[in-house]
Amino acid sequence: MKVVIPVGDLHIGGGCQVLVDIANALQAAGHDTEVVMPASGTVQYDLQAKLSVVPVLTREHIPEGDLILTNFFTTCIGPYEAYKDRCVRLSLGFEPYWVPDKQTALWTYKQGVPVIAISHWLDEQIAAHTHQRSQVVPLGVDVNIFHPGPRQHVTGSPKVIMYIARNPAYGYELKGFTDFQAAIARLRDTYNGDFIVHMVCPEGDLSLPDGVPYRVFRPTSAQEMADLYRGADLFVSTSWFEAFALPPLEAMACGTPVVSTNSGGLLDYCTDMENAVLTPPRDPDALAAQMAHVLQDAQLAKTLSQAGVATASRFTKEKYLREMIAAIENAHRDRAHYVEPKVSIVIPFYNCAYIAQAIESALAQTYSNLEVIVVDDGSTEHVEKVHPYFDKIHYLRKENGGTASALNAGIHHATGRYFSWLSADDEFLPDKTAKQVQWMQENQLTISYGAFFYMNERGELISGKVGTAFASDVDFYRTMSQWCPVNGCTVMIDMRVFETVGVFDETLLYTHDYDLWLRALQHYPFRYLDVPLVRYRVHGEMGTKKHERAIAKELLVVQQKYKSVMKRMVEGGLQP
């Protein structure tokens, strides 16, 4: 397998070390591995894979490979444009949390590219923003280098606190150096003993408050770092958030007790008061108190040391590289075959006698990768008809709030790539989901809708195909400004649309769908699939009959709300 790894730079730092380790491991495993770097980049590691220097990481400079392993968000755009179907995203941190260009960083996670994340916390952050799960491969330490050794601490000599100080002026404010400065000043004033800080300063010398003794170190190898860990009585980490946080695990491997902020990713290996002591981020008082606690309590320090070594033995570099190579190989295998995106079918239900038929039609879809979410909007009738399906659906019950609120509750709980709405009195045709997903994937669509049949109360068809194929977008906009030709139950939407335009307006009792479509079409094209997808039931209790006057009144309100923007789109022929 030919693997291409675009990088911006390979300077000394945790993320770059991980990329070099993976590149070298892939090469050693027999894969033809090529690291691609812009001319502005530097290499400060022993890179055993091929290195290609290009002017910039734009599409025309990305070499072809069987798999493109993108990583930091700036390495994604060129490869996505060149070989998106071969890309896999290695996430070493959720960049939208800290980079200035948050919008672009988030966009790179929303392109349907498989993601490998280095912690379960990181997977949760990605899923919360993209509705996409990652394969998790936690990092590990080289236990041949990071391991316990004899301690030279002499009774009565100052306790040694080790800290890695990243310079806020270089963009590392989130590493919490100012929090450490405040905490160490409090320790100076409250700790009944002597201590000295051994401070590693990668970006240049930093200083601590007056009266705090410290030495600055600039280790040039992993072995020198391990010696510093082994020479410390305590290692402290102060990050606000980390995708994994390797230094605390390295300290554990060396038998050094750890006090750290709960920065997220380290929860894969840290358990408070068992193998480390955790404090809230950005809380210098709590940090100082726990530093003093460990320095004063010899038994606690011993417990943390022993448990830390045991933990590190389960998170080894050898294991993580083996699992990482397997994940990359599996991603290549999966990319070579079409993987069905997950579809979330949301059924809002309120006292509808036809709910069982709706559920049956959703479960009878020929498409396999889907979930059916029934949102009971405070029903007092026909609830028993849902009970037989509890083992096949996700059932949510809430206080009555209207169809829009029920749909939004379903969207909130959905885990699929696509959203489909099925009214409790309507039915999907069996191949509705399969046809629509295939069409959307083939045409790279974000929103689509289709044709339908009318049926009566007994489920008998009473019409032929109903639907309109518009000659142009302008014709569609003109019609949408006057009435809604879109049957909501035929619609399929990429879940990421809701992040751009919002969800259904719960203040609208009847025209919440029309309102959402008018918002969405300003950003995304609506495309019509001229195939029947739904059986739309006509019956005496349907809302469009019972609330005809209220619907007409609310319709005018929505049309007035979007009148000016729709006029501009019609007159200008604007494309979303």
Taking only the tens of pLDDT, the chain with its 576 residues reads 999 999 999 998 889 999 999 999 999 999 999 999 999 999 999 999 999 999 999 999 999 999 999 999 999 999 998 888 899 999 999 999 999 999 999 999 988 789 999 999 999 999 888 878 899 999 999 999 999 998 755 667 999 999 999 999 998 999 999 999 999 999 999 999 999 999 999 998 999 999 999 999 999 899 999 999 999 999 999 999 999 999 999 999 999 999 999 999 999 999 999 999 999 999 999 999 999 999 999 999 999 999 999 999 999 999 999 999 999 999 888 776 555 788 999 999 999 999 999 999 999 999 888 999 999 999 999 999 999 999 899 999 999 999 999 999 999 999 888 999 999 999 999 999 999 999 998 888 999 999 999 999 999 999 999 999 999 999 999 999 999 999 999 999 999 899 899 999 999 999 999 999 999 999 999 999 999 999 999 998 876 777 788 888 999 999 999 999 999 988 875 554
- Is there a contact between 373 and 344 (Cβ–Cβ < 8 Å)? yes
Domain with residue 227: its CATH number is 3.40.50.2000
Q: Residues with Cβ < 8 Å from 548, sequence gap 6 or more?
A: none
Specify whether the CB–CB gap between 395 and 376 falls below 8 A. Answer: yes
User: What pLDDT shows up at residue 416?
Assistant: 87
Structure tokens given for 486: 């879109």
As for how many domains the chain has, the answer is 3
Sole residue written with tokens 């030919």: 2
**Residue 129 sits in the same domain as residue 178:** no
Q: What tokens were used for 477? A: 């906009």
Q: Is residue 141 included in any domain, yes or no?
A: no
Dihedral Cα 239, 245, 248, 253, nearest 10 deg: 180
Q: Which of 525, 454, 516, 527 is nearest to 488 (CA)?
A: 516
- Which residue, among 377, 287, 309, 322, has the nearest Cα to 29 in the 3D structure? 322
In CATH, what number is assigned to the domain containing residue 365? 3.90.550.10
Sheet holding 447-455, edge to edge: 394-397, 370-376, 343-349, 418-421, 492-494, 447-455, 526-537, 427-428
Same domain, 406 and 439: yes
Residues 415/131, Cβ–Cβ less than 8 Å: yes
Percent helix, percent strand, percent coil in the chain, to nearest 5: 40, 20, 40
Based on the domain organization, do 178 and 292 belong to the same domain?
yes
307 and 203 in a common domain: yes
In a domain? residue 92:
yes
Q: In angstroms, rounded to a whole number, what is the distance separating the alpha carbons of residues 133 and 111?
A: 13
In a domain? residue 328: no
Whether 487 maps to a domain, the answer reads yes
- The Cα–Cα gap between 575 and 522 comes to 8
One-letter amino acid at 149 equals G
Q: 14 φ, ψ to 5°?
A: -60, -45
The whole-number pLDDT of residue 339 equals 59
Pairing of β 115-117 and β 87-91: parallel
* Residues 89 and 196 both lie in one domain: no
3-state secondary structure of 196: strand
Say whether pTM exceeds 0.75.
no
Distance CA 75, CA 40 (A): 14
342 DSSP assignment: P
Domain identity same for 261 and 383: no
Domain co-membership, 413 together with 525? yes
Q: What domain range includes position 403?
A: 343-572
pLDDT of residue 484: 93
Give a yes or no: residue 150 inside a domain: no
Shared-domain flag, residues 237 and 365: no
CA proximity to 187, closest of 298, 300, 276, 287: 287
Q: Is 478 exposed, middle or buried (0-12, 13-18, 19+ CB in 10 A)?
A: middle
What would the two tokens of residue 316 be? 């080894």
Q: Are residues 68 and 197 in the same domain?
A: no
Q: Containing H/E element for 198?
A: strand 195-200
Residues 368 and 446 in one domain: yes
* Residue-by-residue DSSP string for 5-72: EE-S-B-SSHHHHHHHHHHHHHHHTT-EEEEEEETT--B-S---SEEEEES-SSGGGSPP-SEEEE-S
392 in the same domain as 287: no
Domain boundary, last residue among 299, 315, 331 = 315
> Nearest-5° angle of CA 434, CA 438, CA 439?
115
Same structural domain, 310 and 439: no
Cα of 546 vs its chain's centroid, Å? 43
